[in-house]
Structure 1
Amino acid sequence: MKVLHVCSEMYPLIKTGGLADVMGALPFAQNEIGMDARVLIPGYPAILEGIPETVIVNAFNTSAGFVTLRFGYYNGLGVYIIDAPHLYYRHGNPYHDSNYQDYGDNYKRFALLAWIGAELSTGLDNWWRAEIVHAHDWHAGLTAAYLYQKGYPAKAVFTIHNLAYQGQFSYHHLFEIGLSTELFHVNGLELYGQISYLKAGLYYSHAVTAVSPTYAKEITTEMFGYGLEGLLQTRAYEGRLVGILNGVDDGIWNPEVDNYIQDHYKLKSMAGKKKNKAKLQAEFHLPQDPDRLVFVMVTRLTEQKGVDLLLESVGEIIQQNGQLIILGSGAPHLEAWLQYLAEQHPQHIGVRIGYDEALSHLLIAGGDVILVPSRFEPCGLTQLYGLKYGTLPLVRSTGGLADTVVNSTAENIKARQATGFVFEHASPEALSGAIKEAFALWHKQRLWFSVRTVAMEQDFSWRISAENYQRLYERLSFI
């Protein structure tokens, strides 16, 4: 089965979030189980530098200008690269400039990505044609609309990684991107008077997936649907909306072989975790005390991630002589609030504004609890990394967090099912209660080790996800 993933990021070459991690793992896992998966991605500087040896597949004029389509291999994975310097050769973030202003031609940049994704099912590459075109998030959302306009030469699959970002652009751009005005209505591209690239993916794809079963249900409600809940309810009723959990790349996130940490460890040999904890405390100039409960957080600093809830609950950690270490960047007021707290409580709080891949691995390897108190979370990956590293997740019960973490109640611990700490309501009081539960379990080290063992035994491998997608693709072949 020939599968083309159409996407805007791929780890480790270009990453702004979890989408990149998925694209850096899922196609490889699919190939390992016998599929023929490839990736299509814009030719950002990091992509062209990371895959320097390519061949030209095609060259042509488009409504977005002259384009060269290249093909090369990255760690054995076939990758198509859209070489269009006037659109993609911009260093830094792929979506906005250094002032966080979205590029004014994003409508054109990502329409071209989608158009070529559809064309690769019709003959742009004379040697390979996609049978399944699998588009990811709003950046690739128009792919299914182009396939529809061509009479569906391939089956269209669309994955929602975050419904909150919908890719909305002015109606008049239709005339530039080669889509018929007949598609611009409520049963099509139109959303609140604009073109919605994400809605195009939802409406015109044969199947829509969300990155966890719970998130697939949540987005059919008004609270999480962002105005698209009606369409998503219809897709769910038709059996065309499913939730498939993301996985963990065992070659990257694995305490036994992690290239970013020096002190490796595994379930029955945990001495390395203590060493990582001491190094983590030293890195943030905190007292190197193995008996202190260390909470870590690697995240975008936004209200969605529940950072404000944590800041209002941090007194519980300080009062119980714990430590909190945060790595991330985002909203300026949250960055300033965190830095102020770190200055006021240098024995308890360490903060690093920005992102550092190596440091993120040390946080997860050295921490005792990883905090993911999100208001909503389509899947979440850091809680999965926490499970893998024996850093117990403390999460709100939403999306993929609800699907992957089991609360450490007495009953769940006794049944060997508990893997972390879960709270229900997005409030500082509920989060503080979960933090108290973490401290209570920490003071019972035998039970803590029992829960940590169950957590590290969990299997969220990408092979499971790849097999679930394969079953979905096979069902589509009968439509």
Structure 2
Amino acid sequence: MRILFATSELYPLIKTGGLADVSAALPSSLASMGHSLTVLLPGYLPVLEQAREQGARILTDLFIMDYPVTLWATTLPGTEVSVWLVDIPGIFDRQGGPYQDITGRDWEDNAWRFRLFAEVARRLATAESPLGSGRPDIVHCNDWQTGLIPVLLSMTPGSPPTVFTVHNLAYAGLFSRDTFDRLALPGELWHPDALEFHGRLSLIKGGLVYGDQLTTVSPRYAEEIQQPPMGYGLEGLLRHRGDRLRGIVNGIDERQWDPAHDPYLFMTYDAGRLNGKALCKADLQQTTGLACEPDTPLVGFVGRLVEQKGVDLIEDMIPRLVAAGCQVVLLGSGDRAAEQALASKALQHSSRVAVSLGYDEALAHRITAGADIFLMPSRFEPCGLNQMYSMRYGTLPVVHDVGGLHDTVRDPEFDGLERGTGFVFGSDSAAECWHALTRALALYRQPQHWQRMMFNGMSQDFSWRRSAEQYLDIYRSLHNRTLNKRN
């Protein structure tokens, strides 16, 4: 099949979160299965510079809504996936991030930027494409930045069907009525059954209303977003479209996250030779300034320091963990107050707690490998990747029973020691989180049982191939339905 995959992030070219990882791994997996994948990505300044240095070529020039557009063709590093970069002078090629300027403020014209991106996608996917034959059988869109693509394609005769994936419903792409008026969209779209949402424009609603198939990144999250509060006011629409909504757990990129071949690790290892993990723990302790104590439980965290990730619970757990004789290593960035609070905790407990603010890919891998326990107390987690990374690396996760965490972690208290892979707590309270941690620490003191669970986690199949096959089922069903309608 020919699939056009529209996204606003793509690892390793541009990343602010898990969307970038999925946008690389899913197309790569589909391409390895023999399908033709093209990722459509905005031409951000650093991405364009890197692509040109590596020999990107101009595929075509367009004129979109009075803007000259150059489409650059390159490939995703290490894959056969084509990447088309949408270069619109003054729109995406700016200093700063994909959605914010260098001061951290949202670009005021974000809605217009992604309106143009959607128009480019519409043009390339239909008979108006300057590229001639080879138009896609399916257009797969992701999150609010691509929410207008299903809208525009629904209004264009002969368009391919669309899949719209919600990675995080908390980010809805909300803008004012004045913004809608400036987007040159048909007036009838300003309606509760279309893009209007309580007097505002909702770009994610475009994908939810007009996408031919809706997916999200875990079965539990698909259930959660059909009810308040996780539906953020869109739960009625999602229930209405429930027969078109499917939850598919994200996979992980096993090329990037494999303890047996990870170049970031002091020593590689696998389930059959765990001595390398002990050396990774010692290396992490030395690197972060902690005492090299092989028998001391080491608790790690990697993620955004925001309310969603339960950062207040993490702050609460640090003194308790220190008092229980643990070491703690944290890596992340986000809310300034949370950063300062965690840095203060590290100063108070400098011999037991290490905090690194920012993002460091190498350190993220080393924490995942060197920790014994991975703490992930997210208030909500559509899918989550870190819990799967940690299990693959023999690091047992402690997680809140939500979204993809529910779907991927098995607690020995409920599933038995022979199937257990981590520890789950039911409500987002400090008491529940601490109870799960104490259960983990108790089992840590029983090495035979602990290694049994390490082996269970390292034996799980979190590959993208299984998830990709589920997406292929959706693509084929939509494609066949479209062919039947045309015939």
What TM-score results when the alignment is normalised by the length of structure 2?
0.95
CA apart distance, 1:275:
1.1
Structure 1 residue 150: deviation in Å?
A: 0.9
**CA offsets, 1:81-127, max 9 Å, x none?**
10113011123421101221100111111111222122221124224
Kindly indicate whether the alpha-carbon contact (under 8 Å) linking 2:43 and 2:86 is maintained by their aligned counterparts in 1: yes
Gaps of 5+ in 1: none
Counterpart of 2:10 in structure 1 is 10
Distance 1:232 1:176, change over 3 A: same
The one of 370, 389, 395 aligned to 2:374: 370
Distance 2:341 2:444 in 1: 28
Tell me, yes or no, if the aligned pair for 1:167 and 1:197 is still in contact at 8 Å: yes
* Aligned mate of 2:336, from 332, 335, 340: 332
Among 50, 68, 71, the residue aligned to 1:69: 71
Distance of 1:405 and 1:347 partners within structure 2: 31
Cα pair distance change 1:377/1:119, threshold 3 Å = same
Whole-Å separation in 1 of the counterparts to 2:446 and 2:112: 57
Letter in 2 for 1:477: H
Amino acid at match of 2:231: G
Count of aligned positions: 475
CA contact (8 A) 1:380 1:400 kept: yes
Return the match for 2:221 from 215, 220, 225.
215
Match of 1:401 in 2: 405
Equivalent residue number for residue 44 of structure 1: 44
Deviations 1:155-186 (A, max 9, x none): 01100000000111223334443321111101
Q: What aligned pairs does 1:221-240 form with structure 2 within 5 A after superposition?
A: 221-236=227-242, 239-240=243-244
Of 451, 454, 463, 1:452 maps to 454
RMSD: 1.3
Aligned counterparts, 1:80-229, within 5 A:
80-122=84-126, 123-151=129-157, 153-229=159-235
Asked if 1:310 corresponds to 2:314, the answer is yes
Question: SS state of the match for residue 119, structure 2?
Answer: helix
Distance 1:33 1:456 in 2: 24
Mean Cα displacement is larger for which, 450-459 or 29-38? 29-38
Distance in 1 between the 2:181 and 2:67 partners? Answer: 14
Shift of 1:244: 0.6
Contact 1:296 1:368 in 2 (8 A): yes
Q: Output one character per residue of 1:418-469: Cα deviation in whole Å (capped at 9) or x when no partner.
A: 0001000000000010110111000111100001000100001011111010
C-alpha contact 2:64 2:119 (8 A) present in aligned 1: no
Cα distance 1:64–1:433, how it changes in 2: closer, same or farther (>3 A)? farther
Out of 258, 270, 281, the position equivalent to 1:266 is 270
Residue 64 of structure 1: how far off its partner (Å) = 6.1
Instruction: Name the structure 2 match of 1:441.
Output: 443
Shift of 1:272: 1.3
Counterpart contact for 1:5–1:135, Cα < 8 Å: yes
Q: Which runs of 5+ in 2 are unaligned?
A: 482-487
The one-letter code of the counterpart of 2:358 is G
Aligned residues of 1:174 and 1:181 also touching (Cα < 8 A): no
In the aligned structure 1, how far is the partner of 2:102 from the partner of 2:56?
30
Distance 1:170 1:124, change over 3 A: farther
Kept in 1, the 8 Å contact 2:64–2:120? The answer is no
SS in 2 for 1:304: helix
Q: Distance in 1 between matches of 2:24 and 2:371?
A: 25
CA contact (8 A) 1:304 1:376 kept: yes
- The answer as to whether partners of 1:64 and 1:177 remain within 8 angstroms in 2 is no
Deviation track 1:197-225 (CA, whole Å, cap 9, x = no partner) reads 10000000001100000000000001100
- The DSSP-based 3-state class of the residue aligned with 1:359 is helix
Aligned partners of 1:391, 1:478: CA distance in 2, in Å?
Answer: 43
The amino acid of 1:269's aligned partner reads R
Contact 1:211 1:378 in 2 (8 A): yes
Q: Distance in 2 between matches of 1:251 and 1:21?
A: 12
Partner of 1:336, secondary structure, is helix
> Secondary structure at the residue paired with 2:171?
coil
Give the alignment's TM-score, normalised by structure 1.
0.97
Q: Is the 8 A contact 1:342 1:350 kept in 2?
A: yes
Report the CA distance between 1:152 and its aligned residue. 5.3
Quote the offset at 1:69 in angstroms: 1.5
Q: CA separation in 2, counterparts of 1:205 and 1:275? A: 49
- Matched with 1:423 is 425
**8 A Cα contact 1:406 1:419, kept in partner:** yes
CA drift of 1:43 comes to 0.6
- Please say if residues 318 and 345 of structure 2, whose CA atoms lie closer than 8 Å, have aligned partners that are also in contact: no
The answer as to 2:371 corresponding to 1:361 is no
Equivalent pair of 2:250/2:383 in contact (CA under 8 Å): yes
Distance in 2 (CA, whole Å) between partners of 1:345 and 1:308 is 17
- 1-structure distance, mates of 2:263, 2:198: 47
Measured after TM superposition, the shift of residue 50 of structure 1 is: 3.3
Instruction: Determine if contact 1:252/1:259 at 8 Å carries over to the other structure.
Output: no
Moved over 6 A (4+): none
Quick check: 1:468 aligned with 2:474?
no
Q: Which position in structure 2 is the counterpart of 1:59?
A: 61
